[in-house]
């Protein structure tokens, strides 16, 4: 991840912000930094506590100074370990002011209630509580006001000053302490939420063993270059993306792909940073620098995803922009109208207005969505599901149609021999020996399948002469002095003029099963039928069944394969629809047609020919994204492993996220309505109002954080 890269006449710098616990404050910081003359663009990522700024040369110091004025610390992206290595108490200065102000408040409260201390003494102690705990709050509130953001800190400042003005020093001190305590607890819980992402970043070791000038040396991963060789012992984590050049082992790829079963790795196989070498020693040639490896890209994309606002979050943000000023106006009317026009006591209604300011703060409402989105996206990443933003997370939960590509998605993508029917009294070993001899020089996937089957039964290819490949038809060669042909039935019947009347029934039966049929024969007759088929993934049927259980009404398949094969696959999997012999444009048309009749359509594919349909779908889902830059960059959602079983989990997680967001919003509004009624009826106090606001924020955060621990999606 770059510290700074030139973009036109400007410079793009990435900062890490410590102590960011308030989505409202993040908006204020974004506006304040954006107001600097040297800054052209700024984006504050609340979920990752990160700020990206596009600015003129030499503006870095002014940016850092502005961030500190807002009450936070900023460090450059390259120095982020400075923050990661600090404890919660070191990163959050407000925790110390909360502790000190709370101690003073407790002393004042004890002296006031039980020690019979003179009121003047306790008043000074309450005032000290307000100053110690409230200075930062007031500073932040005024800062927000200057940046045209009316936040919770500003409303609390008004409430505390108002309480002091009418002599309610104990109430004002209680407001400061409870609000400061709430903010500290919010900071702690948000820190826990972000820890799930930091734990991803810490998967890869900081050092690796590199072979340099014939010696093994331990060096920081940042200094390892593409093309160098690293050694990984059994039980060690792999530090860099690369290709195995020596050795063999099984590798636990769960941290990257979410796969539960270790994957066998041999010479030529790719491995990823952050995965765990289990058995044998490996020598790996580095293919990507540390900041460009798969793990770094996952972390970067997850951070970017957490920064993108979901539709529900955008609604809440717009709502709060109008809601907060309206609250201030209504509170002012409550304080002024009854005393002025109804001859009511000013102090009573002024106090109620202060309570309304506190209760009506939209803090819980504003944080209700982002904490849920951040938690869900972090959870998905840990399970090998890369979701590119809150908008895609929400859309996934609403879809009721899913379309799958066939080859490589529902099927393994590798054909295998499924049927061998010898004719003319020959046996399977004999015909596979001849077939393997003809295919030994071919690179066609069907040829490789025949060679694999021959090897399984111990049939070895024999030398051939006169080998020729006939495009679109098959191959021919001479084996032991006899000319043999291996290809499709049309070639035998139309061009070789070999009668197939006696085997037509067997040919029809194989094609009905969705097999690709090849005939082996001499120039005069067929001597064997060989049926091949792409094998279904072992999880395909169960995934389709789970999707139906989740309420997905239509589970369909879009494929370029022939209708017979497609129909056989669709029948075995229990699909609701199947469209075969499609070009990429036809797949696109099918997606567009379904979108006009359903709430949302997801397209699941893995090939280049699926790209138009993936882009047009409500949610595009790519298979097997680990190590694939294209899949990770372009798809809305990427299943990092070549594992369809992650799809129901992703949909279940999305729907649970939507439920929790709705719960949070409803709860936040309900608390406000209940306490506003209590205020108007005289059943609430100022400290109770603060407790209600702070408590609802903490409950909303805790509810959203449940998504971090979700293990089954739904």
For residue 693, pLDDT over 80 is answered with: no
Lowest mean pLDDT among 203-212, 323-332, 614-623: 323-332
**CA nearest to 103, candidates 21, 176, 160:** 176
**CB 676 within 8 Å of CB 356:** yes
Instruction: Give the pLDDT confidence of 16-62 residue by residue, as tens digits.
Output: 777 666 666 677 778 788 888 888 888 887 766 778 888 888 788 88
d(CA 217, CA 351): 70
CB atoms inside a 10 Å sphere around CB 466: 9
Burial 180-213 (b: 16+ CB within 10 A, else e): bbbbbbbbbbbbebbebbeebbebbbeebebeee
d(CA 689, CA 696): 11
For residue 404, pLDDT over 60 is answered with: yes
d(CA 470, CA 647): 41
Sequence-separated (6 or more) residues with CB below 8 Å from residue 28: 70, 143, 144, 147, 149, 151
The pLDDT value recorded for residue 9 is: 44
Q: Cα dihedral sign for 345, 348, 352, 355?
A: positive
Please report, rounded to a whole number, the percentage of residues in the chain having pLDDT higher than 90.
Answer: 14
The pLDDT value recorded for residue 335 is: 85
For residue 330, pLDDT over 60 is answered with: yes
The pLDDT value recorded for residue 502 is: 85
Q: How many CA atoms lie within 13 A of 640 on its CB side?
A: 26
Residue with tokens 């594992």: 643
**CB 231 within 8 Å of CB 281:** yes
d(CA 87, CA 83): 8
Element (H, E) at 147: none
Residues 290-317 have a mean pLDDT of 68
d(CA 358, CA 339): 21
The pLDDT value recorded for residue 165 is: 79
The pLDDT value recorded for residue 156 is: 75
Sequence-separated (6 or more) residues with CB below 8 Å from residue 490: 473
Element (H, E) at 234: none
Q: DSSP 3-state assignment of 7?
A: strand
CB atoms inside a 10 Å sphere around CB 387: 31
Q: DSSP 3-state assignment of 490?
A: helix
Residue with tokens 């696959």: 569
The pLDDT value recorded for residue 713 is: 55
Instruction: Give the pLDDT confidence of 177-204 residue by residue, as tens digits.
Output: 877 777 777 667 666 666 655 666 667 7
Q: For strand 229-232 and strand 207-212, is the pairing parallel, antiparallel, or unpaired?
A: antiparallel
For residue 138, pLDDT over 60 is answered with: yes
Residue of 442 and 662 predicted with greater confidence: 662
- 243 token code pair: 């290709």
Read off the pLDDT band of 1 (50, 70, 90): very low
Q: For strand 242-246 and strand 270-271, is the pairing parallel, antiparallel, or unpaired?
A: antiparallel
For residue 398, pLDDT over 50 is answered with: yes
- Span between the terminal Cα atoms of the chain, in Å: 34
Question: Is 24 one of the catalytic residues?
Answer: no
- 640 token code pair: 């990092």
d(CA 550, CA 542): 12
- In sequence order, the β-bridge partners of residue 243 are 270, 285
Spatial strand order of the sheet with 276-277 comes to 263-265, 249-252, 276-277
- Between the CA of residue 350 and those of 138, 165, 339, 340, 493, what are the distances in Å? 20, 10, 9, 12, 98
Read off the pLDDT band of 601 (50, 70, 90): very high
Catalytic residue among 24, 112, 405, 606: 405
What is the DSSP-derived secondary structure letter of residue 237?
B
Most confident of the ranges 75-79, 596-600, 609-613: 596-600
Round the average pLDDT of the chain to a whole number and report it. 81
**CB 582 within 8 Å of CB 590:** yes
Read off the pLDDT band of 5 (50, 70, 90): very low
The pLDDT value recorded for residue 648 is: 93
- 328 token code pair: 């201030």
d(CA 139, CA 510): 79
**CA nearest to 254, candidates 238, 240, 274, 233:** 274
Instruction: Give the pLDDT confidence of 490-549 residue by residue, as tens digits.
Output: 888 888 888 888 888 888 888 777 788 889 999 888 999 999 888 888 889 999 999 999
What is the DSSP-derived secondary structure letter of residue 292?
G
Residues 347-373 have a mean pLDDT of 77
- 625 token code pair: 């994204």
Instruction: Give the pLDDT confidence of 549-558 residue by residue, as tens digits.
Output: 988 999 999 8
Read off the pLDDT band of 3 (50, 70, 90): very low
d(CA 386, CA 638): 5
Residues 140-169 have a mean pLDDT of 73
- Cα-Cα-Cα-Cα torsion 97, 98, 99, 104, nearest 10 degrees, comes to 90
d(CA 548, CA 569): 17
Instruction: Give the pLDDT confidence of 192-242 residue by residue, as tens digits.
Output: 666 655 666 667 788 889 998 888 899 988 889 999 999 999 888 898 999
The pLDDT value recorded for residue 8 is: 38
The pLDDT value recorded for residue 260 is: 60
For residue 397, pLDDT over 80 is answered with: yes
Read off the pLDDT band of 150 (50, 70, 90): low
Sorted by where each starts, the structural domains of the chain and their CATH numbers stand as: 4-86 (3.30.70.100), 93-198+303-374+656-709 (no CATH), 207-290 (2.70.150.10), 413-536 (3.40.1110.10)
Residues 248-275 have a mean pLDDT of 82
Read off the pLDDT band of 641 (50, 70, 90): confident
pTM: 0.69
Instruction: Give the pLDDT confidence of 422-437 residue by residue, as tens digits.
Output: 988 889 999 999 999 9
Read off the pLDDT band of 7 (50, 70, 90): very low
Burial 12-38 (b: 16+ CB within 10 A, else e): bbbbbbbbbbbbbbbbbbbbbbbebee
d(CA 646, CA 148): 44
**CB 541 within 8 Å of CB 573:** yes
Burial 135-149 (b: 16+ CB within 10 A, else e): ebbbebbebbeebeb
Residues 150-170 have a mean pLDDT of 76
Query: Between 346-359 and 686-705, two packed helices, what is the crossing angle to 10 degrees?
Result: 10
Q: How many CA atoms lie within 13 A of 446 on its CB side?
A: 18
**CB 604 within 8 Å of CB 405:** yes
The pLDDT value recorded for residue 445 is: 77
């Amino acid at each position: 991840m770059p510290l700074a890269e030139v973009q036109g006449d400007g410079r793009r710098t990435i900062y890490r912000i410590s102590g960011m616990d308030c989505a409202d404050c993040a908006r204020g910081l974004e506006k304040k930094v954006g107001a600097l003359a040297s800054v052209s663009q700024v984006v504050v990522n609340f979920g990752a506590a990160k700020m990206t700024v596009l600015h003129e040369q030499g503006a870095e110091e002014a940016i850092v100074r502005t961030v500190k004025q807002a009450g936070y610390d900023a460090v450059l992206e390259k120095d982020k370990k400075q923050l990661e290595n600090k404890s919660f108490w070191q990163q959050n200065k407000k925790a110390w002011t909360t502790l000190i102000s709370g101690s003073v408040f407790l002393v004042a409260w004890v002296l006031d209630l039980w020690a019979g201390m003179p009121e003047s003494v306790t008043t000074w102690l309450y005032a000290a509580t307000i100053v110690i705990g409230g200075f930062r709050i007031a500073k932040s509130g005024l800062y927000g006001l200057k940046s045209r953001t009316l936040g919770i800190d500003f409303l609390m400042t008004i409430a505390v000053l108002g309480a002091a003005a009418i002599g309610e020093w104990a109430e004002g001190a209680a407001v400061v302490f409870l609000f400061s305590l709430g903010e500290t607890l919010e900071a702690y819980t948000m820190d826990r939420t972000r820890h799930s992402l930091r734990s991803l970043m810490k998967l890869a070791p900081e050092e690796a063993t590199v072979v340099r000038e014939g010696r093994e040396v331990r060096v920081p991963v940042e200094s390892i270059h593409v093309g160098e060789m690293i050694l990984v012992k059994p039980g060690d984590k792999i530090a860099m993306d690369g290709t195995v050049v020596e050795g063999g082992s099984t590798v636990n790829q769960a941290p990257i792909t979410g796969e539960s079963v270790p994957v066998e790795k041999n010479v030529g196989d790719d491995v990823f940073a952050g995965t765990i070498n289990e058995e044998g020693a490996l020598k790996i040639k580095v293919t990507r620098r540390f900041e460009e490896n798969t793990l770094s890209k996952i972390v970067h994309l997850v951070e970017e995803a957490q920064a993108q606002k979901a539709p529900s979050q955008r609604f809440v943000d717009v709502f709060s922009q109008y809601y907060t000023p309206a609250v201030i106006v209504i509170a002012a009317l409550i304080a002024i109208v009854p005393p002025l026009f109804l001859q009511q006591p000013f102090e009573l209604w002024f106090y109620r207005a202060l309570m309304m300011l506190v209760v009506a703060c939209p803090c819980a409402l504003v944080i209700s969505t982002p904490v849920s989105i951040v938690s869900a996206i972090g959870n998905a990443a840990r399970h090998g599901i890369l979701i590119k933003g809150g908008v895609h997370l929400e859309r996934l939960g609403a879809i009721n149609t899913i379309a799958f590509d066939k080859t490589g998605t529902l099927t393994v993508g590798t054909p295998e021999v499924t049927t061998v029917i010898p004719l003319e009294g020959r046996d399977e070993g004999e015909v596979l020996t001849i077939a393997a001899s003809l295919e030994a020089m071919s690179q066609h996937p069907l040829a490789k399948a025949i060679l694999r089957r021959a090897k399984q039964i111990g049939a070895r290819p024999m030398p051939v002469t006169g080998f020729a490949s006939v495009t679109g038809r098959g191959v021919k060669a001479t084996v032991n002095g006899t000319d043999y042909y291996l290809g499709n039935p049309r070639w035998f019947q139309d061009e070789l003029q070999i009668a197939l009347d006696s085997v037509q029934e067997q040919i029809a039966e194989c094609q009905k099963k969705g097999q690709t049929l090849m005939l082996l024969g001499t120039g005069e007759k067929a001597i064997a039928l060989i049926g091949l088929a792409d094998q279904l993934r072992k999880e395909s049927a169960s995934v389709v069944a789970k999707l139906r259980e989740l309420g997905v009404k239509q589970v369909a398949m879009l494929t370029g394969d022939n209708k017979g094969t497609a129909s056989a696959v669709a029948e075995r999997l229990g699909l609701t629809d199947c469209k075969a012999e499609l070009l990429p444009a036809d797949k696109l048309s099918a997606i567009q047609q379904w979108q006009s009749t359903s709430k949302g359509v997801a397209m699941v594919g893995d090939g280049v020919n699926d790209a138009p349909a993936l882009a047009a779908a409500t949610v595009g889902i790519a298979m097997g994204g680990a190590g694939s830059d294209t899949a990770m960059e372009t798809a809305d959602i990427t299943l990092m492993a070549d594992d369809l079983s992650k799809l129901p989990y992703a949909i279940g997680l999305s729907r649970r996220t939507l439920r929790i967001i709705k719960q949070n919003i409803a709860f936040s509004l309900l608390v406000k309505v209940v306490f506003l009624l209590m205020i108007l009826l005289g059943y609430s106090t100022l400290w109770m109002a603060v407790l209600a606001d702070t408590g609802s924020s903490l409950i909303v955060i805790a509810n959203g954080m449940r998504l971090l621990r979700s293990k089954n999606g739904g």
